Chains A and B, each alone.
Chain A
Amino acid sequence: MGKLGSRRRLHVRAKEGCSDAIAAIIQEKPGQPKVVYRLSGDAYLLVEYGEMTLDLDLRFRVHSLEQSIKDIPVEGVLETVPGVCSLLIKYNGLQLPLGRLLDTLKSIEKSLPPIQEVEVPSRVIHLPVAFHDRWTLEAIAKYIQSVRAEAPYLPDNVQFVARCNGLESIEQVISYLQATQHLVIGLGDVYLGAPCAVPLDPRYRLVVPKYNPARMYTPEGGVGVGGSYICIYPMESPGGYQLVGRTLSIWDTWRTAPAFAEAPWLLRLFDRIQFESTSEDELLSAREAMLSGSYTLRIEEETFSVKEYKKFLDSVRDEAETFRARQKRAAKQWTKGY
């Protein structure tokens, strides 16, 4: 254990702690979400919108800001990395002082388009998935053997997803996962182009707690659900999402397959993933065909319009509420003491 207070130390008043970490704030007003500029060391600034919720409006605001920084471009800004409701900006503090960066960002904020008008290129990508498959069940078995023998999500993660969401069966979970497209709102969560994606149709928005503690092993291509996100594992790795199936490789280091002609990662921001149930054998053939270049992914080039999406949300509001109520009751019962 660390030795508490064993050395001379600057004594810090907590009030200062607050203002020290936040460089600036823009309060919410019509057409302007709240912005908190958080310090993230001397080489990064974290620009955060709203009240830290998963709100797609905020995600599109993040996108508008990122585009705007790229379009200008701002000298001294080295990289930008979007999160769910924030943008991390890496800059060279020797070239671009923090004060000047803040002034530039505040002025960009005034020029950003209303969220309702945002439209982004968005491909629909059809991915075959072997749900409730032997590879992910094997990963769970390893976890039971080496990490934790009993937990609410053991021995069957899909069964746990069903219980937590008030669904009757494994089959129903599988049909819910195919009933909605999943919008990719982050890449690299975790590593190598792994998508952080959210279900677009709130009537099928599954929510489930993550593993505690995490798994040491997840198969490459594993599909997981954690919180209200889904992810696909680009490489064998540790992981914390509930495993529901396995799909194609989404990372190809040597870019042998045509789907990787442009980059070693398959997915882009704002792609919409459409899962399609397939058998284990068919998945294996598809995975092999993909590597040899003979598999053609079904991809449709489309756009995603925030305005259209809002209309859709309005049209399914009541059904979404009904599902959410049932989900809440189930979650209360099945995640008690989790």
Chain B
Amino acid sequence: MIEVINAGLFTTVQDSPGRVGYWNVGIPPSGPMDALAFRIANKLVSNGDHEAGLEITASGPALKFLSDATVALAGAKLQGTINGKGVPWWETLYVEKGTVLSLGAVQGPGWRSYLAVGGGIDVPDYLGSKSTFPQGHFGGYEGRSLVKGDVIHINERIAELHRQWKSAAAIIPRYETEWEVGVIPGPHAAPDFFTPADVEMFYSTQWRVHYNSNRLGYRLEGPKPHFARKHGGEGGRHPSNVPDYAYAIGTVNFTGDMPIIVTVDGPSLGGFVSLATVTTSELWKIGQAKPHDFISFRRLTVEEAIEQLSRQEQLLQSLA
């Protein structure tokens, strides 16, 4: 068991790939915003991808281990101490009963950190997943982010089996404050919805991450598009409107003039055009982009994106 001495800014239980299979009724997958770091953390403690861990945003919790455990921290590096000493990142850590892991503010680039525990965090499944969806008040720990005094159960017996030290040093992703993110054009592009100049502008701009960005969506500040149409036809008045359709996770919507990247707790249906969609193997970068970071988009073909995804999967397998 783990006692929450201090909850941090926004700490939730998540599993990967989350609550999949319900997008058609508007239940988002949730799960980690940076699935890459999350999966690496799980591999470091010999967990399967699906085991639940903690997602920590910007500033970390203080946790007291009430039993022995194997843990690993990945993602954005936080200030912190474990039993008064420095906290190693991206490697397996064996903690004894009574240990206090005290995490502070994020140091340097990146925005989200992950704590995996050997055996996984034990909360009830809701619709097949342990991921928290706070807006719906379900999943994770009582459907909400952690608060001081919570006691989290872990699958301790399984943890006993995994005391093998590992390091992810060879595959640690690079974190920055100016992110270049691979996208595939579409579903809506030029010349039907956007002007050629809009497309040019989209790919040549360094978009600034708006402070009001979260697990539902990432808002981007930058120039306004002109749009190819005068209005949205039957979809609505604004030229960014189309009849409601289902969004891909990672799609870059124009809600009016502002681009918003749909992320893991986002809405499934909506009526705004999307100029490009972040590729699967690059979605983690959005999860690590913090407010006021810059994001620019690099266009890829589906074949290139699948090739990158395949390489990423092979790297992850090399840790197993």
What is A's interface to B at a CB cutoff of 8 Å? Answer: 1-7, 9-15, 17-18, 20-23, 38-44, 46, 48, 52-54, 78-88, 90, 93-94, 97-98, 186-194, 196, 209-210, 227, 229, 235, 237, 253, 263-265, 338
Contacts and interface: CB of A to CB of B under 8 A. Distances in A.
A41 B280 contact: yes
Contacts of A210: 236
A12 B199 contact: yes
Contacts of B178: 7
B206 interface: yes
Given A41-B280, A53-B243, A235-B136, 13 more contacts: A4-B204, A11-B200, A12-B199, A21-B185, A39-B277, A41-B248, A52-B233, A53-B234, A82-B246, A93-B306, A188-B25, A192-B25, A264-B127
A2 B192 contact: no
Interface string B160-195: 000000000000000000100001111111111011
B158 to A, nearest CB: 28
Chain B: interface size category:
35 or more
Contact of A94 (B194, B204, B236, B310): B310
Nearest to A235: B136
B24 interface: yes
Instruction: Please indicate which of the listed interface residues A6, A90, A191 has the most CB atoms of chain B within 10 Å of its own CB.
Output: A191
Given A41-B184, A42-B280, A88 B246 contact: yes
Contact of A187 (B25, B191, B220, B245): B25
Contacts of B135: 191, 235, 237
A83 B24 CA distance: 9
B205 A42 contact: no
Nearest to B269: A189
B154 to A, nearest CB: 25
17 contacts: A3-B206, A4-B201, A14-B200, A20-B184, A20-B299, A20-B301, A21-B188, A40-B277, A42-B302, A42-B309, A85-B245, A93-B280, A97-B306, A186-B244, A189-B270, A192-B26, A196-B269
Nearest to B245: A83
Interface string B133-154: 0011110000100000000000
Nearest to A43: B280
Contact of A39 (B186, B201, B203, B310): B186
Contacts of A5: 204-205
A50 to B, nearest CB: 10
Interface in B232-274: 233-237, 242-248, 250-251, 267-270, 274
A191 to B, nearest CB: 5
B208 interface: yes
A43 B191 CA distance: 24
B319 to A, nearest CB: 18
Given A52-B233, A192-B25, A40 B274 contact: yes
A193 B26 CA distance: 6
A81 B23 contact: yes
B246 A83 contact: yes
B305 interface: yes
B196 A14 contact: yes
A11 B197 CA distance: 11
Nearest to A53: B234
B250 A41 contact: yes
A186 B271 CA distance: 12
Given A41-B277, A53-B234, A90-B23, A20 B205 contact: no
A188 B24 CA distance: 7
Given A42-B309, A46-B245, A253-B136, A20 B26 contact: no
Contact of B251 (A9, A15, A40, A263): A40
Contact of B184 (A39, A187, A193, A264): A39
Given A4-B201, A42-B309, A265 B25 contact: yes
B200 A83 contact: no
Interface string B43-85: 0000000000000000000000000000000000000000000
